[in-house]
Structure 1
Amino acid sequence: MELTGRLAVITGAGSGIGRALAESFAAEGARVVAADLDGESAEQTAAAIRSGGGQSLGIRADAGVTADIEALTTTDFGPVDIYVANAGIIGSPGLGTDEQWDSILDINLRSHVRAAQVLVPQWLSRGGGYFVSVASAAGLLSQIGAAGYAVTKHAAVGFAEWLAITYGDDGVGVSCVCPLGVATPLLDAVRASEDPDSAAGAASIVQSGEVLSAQDVATATVGAVKADRFLVLPHPQVLDMYRHKGSDYDRWIAGMRRYQRSLRAGR
């Protein structure tokens, strides 16, 4: 896909991976709608893009609310070509409560579904569009310490697969981004937690591979969109981990249990 002149909407664009994605798409010549629940941060991202000569709007939006998604697709910039479902939360440690599950499902999964419900009909009528799901390596492997995060990231990967299978022949491209540790405010919050499950989860993230910059992830993502490539692995070793998991599921689960015990003992 040629990005020059395209309109890209990025959720969670106020910081971290979202901000890096917004800046990277703009650097490729795309017009960018930077959306975030923190409207001031969204505008800061947009202002940085404009100061570099790009075109960008900063909009406060809740990525899990259909009305806000619709507002992002009806700006003066025109119809959306690329939608990047990046907004996400780590959620609560352990099993969580019903309310906590509702919250993480809304942001990490239903926001993707609702965006597709709004955009796919438009893209089918126009002959194409592109959906980027920013998931996690936790969606291919798992996440020690946080059930909600592990489950919703698996679901996000599954939904991205379904979109690619169902609408790929109709001109809808899909990329699914699955990094390990990335230096973002989300990772900082997990590492600062005193909860033992969160501490074990943070240790597993940091120990699993190099903690990349948000820009590293954005660069890999933009490259995948241009190449129309589904699976985006900023940490290439995730593919070997995934193959190992699939080759012997019981052995993999036993290994993850051992690893969790070692993390808890270290704590």
Structure 2
Amino acid sequence: MEVAGKVAIVTGGGGGIGGALVAALARGGARVVVADLDAAAARAVSDRVNSHYPGVTVGAGGDVSDTAQIERLIALAGAEFGPVDMYFANAGVAGAPGLDAGELDWDLSIDVNLRAHVRAAKLLVPQWVERGEGYFVSTASAAGLLTQIGSATYSVTKHAAVGFAEWLNITYGDRGVRVSCLCPMGVNTRLLYEGQESGDALGMAATRAVTSAGAVLEPETVADIVLAAVQEERFLILPHEQVLEMYRNKGADYDRWLRGMRRFQRSLLGQ
């Protein structure tokens, strides 16, 4: 799909990959609603992009795991630019490490990393089927294909996000709805370093695991890769190409892969 002339919503657009996606979409000729829980951050990204491409974005605050808030964003896009053609479900949370994660931690991770995607798709996909075209881009993680040392909430919900994107692709791919799933490793965003800042041994190990497994990419690099994949209508977006080989090794010999991950975890924890 070409992005020129399209109307997009980017969640988690107040910085990181989301902010870079907003800028890349604007350069490509799209008009964008920038959504973020932090309304000031969303407006700041919108203002910065509009300073280069006047009037092509609008910023809005809101909890994008809330159906009513997603409806509000869709209505805002319609009022400002027209019907939504593309939805980038990019907002995410890292989650608490270990089995100490409480019920509220699990609820937050499930809501933001998974249900936000489901709720947006329920609102948009029927419209796209009727119009014959639409694009849903899910930001998951390499953790959704492999795992995440430290955080069960992150690993489990990112696996679920990949599974939902797969299901969307299979179920609606022949009806005009395109779906891609972004699964990067380390990207230079605030989210990457939350575990390191937590002071928790598993949390710090999680950050070291990601930063030692491959290059830490800049959000702008990832955004360019995403839009290239969208143009090709490619499902799996892997900014770190080695993830594919890791995923193949996992499937080829699961027990060996698990032993290797335990060994890797021991090295990170200094055991």
Q: 2:154 matched to 1:149?
A: yes
User: Structure 1 length normalisation: TM-score?
Assistant: 0.98
Q: Deviations over 1:219-264 (max 9, x none)?
A: 1101111110000000000000000000000000011011111111
What's 1:87 paired with?
91
SS across alignment from 2:246: helix
Q: 2:104 matched to 1:103?
A: no
Aligned equivalents of 1:156 and 1:53: distance in 2?
A: 32
SS across alignment from 1:265: coil
Q: 2:242 matched to 1:237?
A: yes
User: Structure 2 length normalisation: TM-score?
Assistant: 0.97
Aligned equivalents of 1:4 and 1:200: distance in 2?
A: 42
What's 2:259 paired with?
254
Which of 168, 181, 202 does residue 173 from structure 2 map onto? Answer: 168
Aligned equivalents of 1:189 and 1:142: distance in 2?
A: 17
What's 1:73 paired with?
74
Q: Deviations over 1:67-106 (max 9, x none)?
A: 1101111121211000000000001011211111001000
Q: Deviations over 1:143-181 (max 9, x none)?
A: 000000000000000000000000000000001000000
What's 1:227 paired with?
232
Aligned equivalents of 2:65 and 2:235: distance in 1?
A: 23
1:5 positional shift = 1.0
1:128 positional shift = 1.2
Identity rate, percent: 55
SS across alignment from 2:171: helix
1:193 positional shift = 2.0
Instruction: Name stretches of at least 5 consecutive residues in structure 1 with no aligned partner.
Output: none
What's 2:188 paired with?
183
1:10 positional shift = 0.1
* Letter of the 2:14 counterpart: G
Aligned pair count? 266
SS across alignment from 1:34: strand
List structure 1 runs of 4+ shifted beyond 6 angstroms: none
* Letter of the 2:64 counterpart: A
SS across alignment from 1:153: helix
* Letter of the 1:74 counterpart: A
* Letter of the 2:65 counterpart: G
The CA RMSD over aligned residues, in Å, is: 0.8
1:189 positional shift = 2.0
What's 1:6 paired with?
6
Instruction: Name stretches of at least 5 consecutive residues in structure 2 with no aligned partner.
Output: none
Aligned equivalents of 1:61 and 1:127: distance in 2?
A: 29
Aligned equivalents of 2:227 and 2:123: distance in 1?
A: 23
What's 1:56 paired with?
57
